[in-house]
Amino acid sequence: MGIVATSDGRGYWIACSTGGVFNFGDAPPHGSAKAGTPGLPIVAMAATPDGGGYWLADANGTVFAFGDAPRLHPVAAASPVAGLAVTPMGTGAFLAEQNGTVLGLGTAASDGSLSDVSATSPVVSIAEVVVPPPTISPMTRRGQRQGPSPRGRANYGSAFGSPLVAPLSP
C-alpha cells in the first residue's frame, strides 16, 4: 500500500497491503511483514533518511521496523491509520488517522490534528516536509531573526475542503 524511493533516487520499494515488500533498482531488501501478522492490512510505508531501512504501518497503528529503522512503540489508534511520515533524522514518525488525528511516535511531537475540525471525507495520507537550509542571510534588515516556525517545521497549508476529482488509491 505504498511506494518509497531510495535516498539516492535510483530505486524504490513497493509495499502491498498483505505486508510483502518488493525492491527495485538499487533498493536493498530489508524484509516483509509475515502473512498472518496481527493488524494487517499494511496501509503505509516510509523509508529511513539513509535508505538503510523502512517502516510499515498497519491500520491499527502498529509500525513494523526493517533494516536500520528504529523500533517505534505502538499506539492505540482511535480511527484507522491512513499514512506515515518520518522525521528528518529518522528517529520518529507521524501517523495520520482517517479521522484527522496525527499521532507522534519516537521523537516526533504532533503539532496538531484535523480531529477537532468537521471533516467531510476521511484523511488519506500525510506527507513529509523537508525544509531546506535558508539561502539568504538569517537576519533581516531590522535585525529580526528569520527561519522556520518555533518548532522547526513549516506549515504550507492543506487541501482541506477541496473535493477530489478521483480517488487517490483503489
CA 32 – CA 55 distance, rounded (Å)? 10
For the chain, the domain total comes to 1
Predicted structure pTM score: 0.72
- The arithmetic mean of pLDDT across residues 64-91, rounded, is 90
Residue 122, domain extent:
1-170
What is the residue-averaged pLDDT of the chain?
78
Burial class of residue 112 (count of CB atoms within 10 Å of its CB; 0-12, 13-18, 19+): exposed
- The arithmetic mean of pLDDT across residues 78-104, rounded, is 91
- The arithmetic mean of pLDDT across residues 83-105, rounded, is 91
> pLDDT value at position 67?
95
Contacts (Cβ under 8 Å, ≥6 apart) of 170:
none
Contacts (Cβ under 8 Å, ≥6 apart) of 137:
146
CA 170 – CA 167 distance, rounded (Å)? 7
> pLDDT value at position 128?
80
pLDDT for 25-76, tens place per residue? Answer: 999 999 998 766 666 789 999 999 999 999 999 999 999 999 999 999 878 8
